[in-house]
Structure 1
Amino acid sequence: MSATVSNFYYGAVTPVSAYLMACLGAALGLRCTTRSLRRPHRRAAWLALGAVSIGCGIWTMHFIAMIGFSVQGALVGYDPTKTLLSLVVAIVVVALGVFLVGHRGGSPVNLALAGTVTGLGVAAMHYLGMGAIHTNGTLHYDTPTVALSVAIAVAAATAALWAAVSIHKLWSSLGAALVMGVAVTGMHYTGMAAVSVHLTGTSAVGQSSTNLLSFLLVMLAGPLAVLLIAAVIVMFDPDMMLGDDDWDHAAPAAPQPARQPSPPSPPHTSW
């Protein structure tokens, strides 16, 4: 028997919160990448922080959105190991893309390669997280919709990596983060539109229990703390408000070569 599936059990609260988390992770990642370009001696550290921020933002978006996931007539639970593994996958694949463009530049070939790898990884994170679901039924996926969600993930990842190496002004970065939030959240809900559940048993519970909500909140606590720490680091960085032009103006001018004194003029003699 097919069950009625909802992704908005709590109304707009979960999609809006998920979108904000995706935007926060993207914004922090873009600002960290900007710092990596300005400070080559600390490039690896800034790129790593950016990758962790984006990865945690995407993963947090996914599981906040999943709080609103319900199956009528079924109890929903999650496997902790697969849930944590999906977080590791999100961070690792984002790191691959960020380090590739951070060290090799934003050429079309690099962006295409990094965007494809990262997008496929984000999609893998999403479906691995879905694979962690336990319920008294089986999940089925509509193949064309799944393919569309993967294509959106690749496009979103490529755009994010392009923005990371091309957009450095503060307000432009924030605008790009808002757009990336739409893309990442859209990928999630496109993937969720592919899901149908066929019940194999009966349950008196029509929605996830309080224990499930507590589990997800505990899972979210770590990534949220990481995002908070990253935000503090970025906010207290001295050049947080600088963009490309501001950075050029703030940078010390290159020292000019010392002018050689001109040779003294020969004494003028009157005859």
Structure 2
Amino acid sequence: MSHGSPGWILFLAYVTSVVGSLIGLACAQRARAAEERSHEVAWTALGAVAIGGIAIWLMHFIAMLDFTIGGSAVTYSVPLTVLSAVLSILVVYLGLSIVTLARFTVIRLICAGIVAGIGVTVMHYVGMAAVEFQGELSYNPALVAVSAGIAIAAATVAFWFTLRVESAGAMVLAGLAMGVAVTGMHYTGMAAASVRMDMSLAPSTGAGVFSVVFPVFTLSALAVGGLLWALMASVPDPIDVRGHRPAPR
């Protein structure tokens, strides 16, 4: 089994995670500045698509392009791959909503981090369950626990950033840090995996990785474009960029 080799795939996965994180942070700023509840919910949902769908799930999928098993073709179950994407967005939305749609408390932040972190961990292993080959995957429980811990810590820090980041420079630093955490969680989870080949099993019948790449990247490009358009089309007042509501008139 080969995964995690240094190179352009690791770099692309990290950059994707950073870009998704930055867009998600910007959406969270809009949610904090919104005056109407419906706008808060909408921006929180868009932030979940950016962080859960792009920074986490798309990063995972890109990193999996480097996953090879000698002697067996690797394919993917499309339903499980789609399920992993949906799970990632839903758990991040749930976590974000805990901290953006209600009064901030440290307890809420910790609960949001735990909920999203566990959800992202489940998403990772559902995504791994989508991998089909002539053999079986098994996992080192200790490294699985470490990957879950990293995911919880990363989610908690990400949600804290969504509430506290104000300046453009701080947002960039936050995005870079979130990219390291998310990518680190993925590769720790992959380090927990080991392969047992069984050539007596029927060859895998799922979708080949490159037959999945085009629709995944097309949809992701549309999502990024839509999110950027929404951000540019809704420019808040300067005071709102700092996360403060306008004073009542």
Asked if Structure 1 and Structure 2 have the same fold, meaning a TM-score greater than 0.5 normalized by the shorter chain, the answer is yes
* 1:186-201 aligned within 5 A: 186-201=184-199
Distance 2:102 2:144 in 1: 31
The correspondence for 1:113, drawn from 101, 111, 125, is 111
Post-superposition shift, 1:221?
2.5
* Structure-1 residue corresponding to 2:218: 221
Of all paired residues, the percent bearing the same amino acid is: 37
Distance 2:131 2:237 in 1: 40
Post-superposition shift, 1:118?
0.3
1:45–1:254 distance in 2 versus 1, CA, 3 Å: closer
User: Which sections of structure 2, spanning at least 5 residues, go unmatched?
Assistant: none
* Structure-2 residue corresponding to 1:76: 74
Post-superposition shift, 1:239?
3.7
Post-superposition shift, 1:60?
0.3
User: Which sections of structure 1, spanning at least 5 residues, go unmatched?
Assistant: 256-271
Matched, 1:99 2:79: no
Contact 1:105 1:165 in 2 (8 A): no
Contact 2:4 2:187 in 1 (8 A): no
* Structure-2 residue corresponding to 1:20: 15
Contact 2:114 2:152 in 1 (8 A): yes
The correspondence for 2:235, drawn from 214, 233, 238, is 238
Contact 1:48 1:95 in 2 (8 A): yes
Aligned length, in residue pairs: 241
* Structure-2 residue corresponding to 1:86: 84
1:240–1:201 distance in 2 versus 1, CA, 3 Å: farther
1:143–1:240 distance in 2 versus 1, CA, 3 Å: farther
Q: Which secondary structure state, in structure 2, belongs to the residue aligned with residue 7 of structure 1?
A: coil
Distance 1:110 1:235 in 2: 30
TM-score norm. by structure 1 comes to 0.82
Matched, 1:29 2:24: yes
Contact 2:154 2:178 in 1 (8 A): yes
Post-superposition shift, 1:254?
7.1
Q: Which secondary structure state, in structure 1, belongs to the residue aligned with residue 101 of structure 2?
A: helix
Distance 2:135 2:88 in 1: 27
* Structure-2 residue corresponding to 1:269: none
Distance 1:40 1:181 in 2: 30
Post-superposition shift, 1:223?
2.8
* Structure-1 residue corresponding to 2:40: 43
Q: Which moved more, 1:167-176 or 1:181-190?
A: 167-176
Which one has the largest radius of gyration?
1
1:90–1:254 distance in 2 versus 1, CA, 3 Å: closer
Letter in 2 for 1:76: V
The RMSD of aligned alpha carbons is 2.4
Post-superposition shift, 1:198?
0.8
* Structure-1 residue corresponding to 2:121: 123
* Structure-2 residue corresponding to 1:6: 2
Distance 1:180 1:18 in 2: 12
